[in-house]
Amino acid sequence: MAKNYTRFHQHHGIAIITFDRDDKLNAFNTAMTMEVNAHIDAAVAGGARGIVLRANPGVRVWCAGRDLTELRPGADPADDPMLRLFEKIMEAPLPVINMVEGAVYGGGLMLVMVSDIVIASTTATVAMTANKLGIPLPTETYAYWLRVIGIHKVKELLFTAGNLSAQDAHVAGIFNHVVEPDDLETYTLNVIARRILDCSAEGIANAKHQLNLLARRYILTETDRAAIEENRRALLDGADFRTRLARLLEQVRTRE
C-alpha cells in the first residue's frame, strides 16, 4: 500500500490539510505534492470555504521545502511539481491559510508566500535556503516577493540564507499574525476562518483573483526573459550546483 504523506478532513466548512512526513521534516517529494494537489481539488469540489495547511502539532520543522533527493542537475525547473502546486494555490477560488509552527525552509517559504493568510506561532522561523545550493528562483517569485516584502529584506533572505524570527517575519509582511503555540489552532479556526465564513465566497474569490494578478505583474522584454532563462538553466546544470547538492545529500545520509 502506498504511504500517505498528508491527511485531509473538513471542519465546519474549512478543509484542513495536514503534512504528515515528520521523519523527512515535511520535505515535499512528488507523491506528497500530488496528495496536496488532490486535496485542494477535493476541497474546491466539495464546496469548502477555505483551506488550512498545517503540520502535526509541536513539530520542529513545518516544512523543509523540496525533497532534495529528487533534484536532478540540469532538469527543467518549470517541470517541478511543487511549482505547479504553488500555481494551484494561487488560482484556487478560496482562501488558503497557513497555520505555521516550527521552522520553514526554502520551498516551504515559497509555499507560505503563495498562500493567502499566514498565522504563525512564536516558535516559527523562516529561511530562504535556495542559494545554499545555488538554485535560481523563477522570475515571477522574485517579482511577487518584492511586492510583499520589499527589496532589502528580500535580498537579505536570498543573499544570506539566514533565519528570520516570527516577529521579524511579521514585521516583513510574511506572517499576518503571530500567536502563542497553544493559541495557534484556536485563532486560526475560530477567529480567522470564522471571519471568512461570514463573508461572501464569490466576493472573496473575485478579490483573490484580482489581487494575485496585480501582485504578480511585472514587465520584462522578451530579450530579458530569454537571458534570464538561459542563465537559470546554466546555474542548474553547473558544477557549483552539482557539488553543493552532492555535499548536502551526503550530510543528509550521514544524519540518517
Q: Residue 120: which CATH number?
A: 3.90.226.10
At residue 24, the 3 state secondary structure works out as helix
In a domain, 1, yes or no: no
Strand duo 6-11 + 14-19: pairing: antiparallel
Q: What pLDDT is attached to residue 2?
A: 61
Rounded CA separation 184/170 (Å): 15
- DSSP annotation of 3: P
* Helices 201-216 and 81-91, axial angle in degrees (round to 10): 130
Q: Which residue has the higher pLDDT, 226 or 256?
A: 226
Per-chain mean pLDDT for the chain: 92
Residue pLDDT, tens place only, 205-219: 999 999 998 887 777
Whether residue 107 lies inside any domain: the answer is yes
> Count of CB atoms within 10 A of residue 12's CB?
10
Asked whether residue 192 is assigned to any structural domain, the reply reads no
Say if 48 falls within a structural domain.
yes
3-state secondary structure of 149: coil
Instruction: Kindly report the backbone phi and psi dihedral angles of residue 152, in degrees, each rounded to the nearest multiple of 5, phi listed first.
Output: -70, -45
Per-residue pLDDT at 78? 67
Reported confidence tier of residue 77, pLDDT bands at 50, 70, 90: low
State how many domains the chain has: 1
pLDDT band at 229; cut points 50, 70, 90? confident
Q: Is residue 191 domain-resident? A: no
Stated length of the chain: 256
pLDDT greater than 80 at residue 35: yes
In the chain, the percentage of residues whose pLDDT exceeds 70 is 98
Tell me the residue range of the domain where 127 lies.
Answer: 6-183+201-216
Start-to-end CA distance of the chain, whole Å, equals 24
pLDDT of 250 > 60? The answer is yes
Q: Is residue 255 part of a domain?
A: no
> What is the gyration radius of the CA atoms in the chain, in angstroms?
18
**Phi (first) and psi of residue 246, to 5 degrees:** -60, -40
Give the contacts of 110 (CB within 8 A, at least 6 positions apart).
65, 82, 86, 137, 141
The CB density around residue 198, as the number of other CB atoms within 10 Å, is 8
Residue 145 lies in a domain: yes
Residue 224 lies in a domain: no
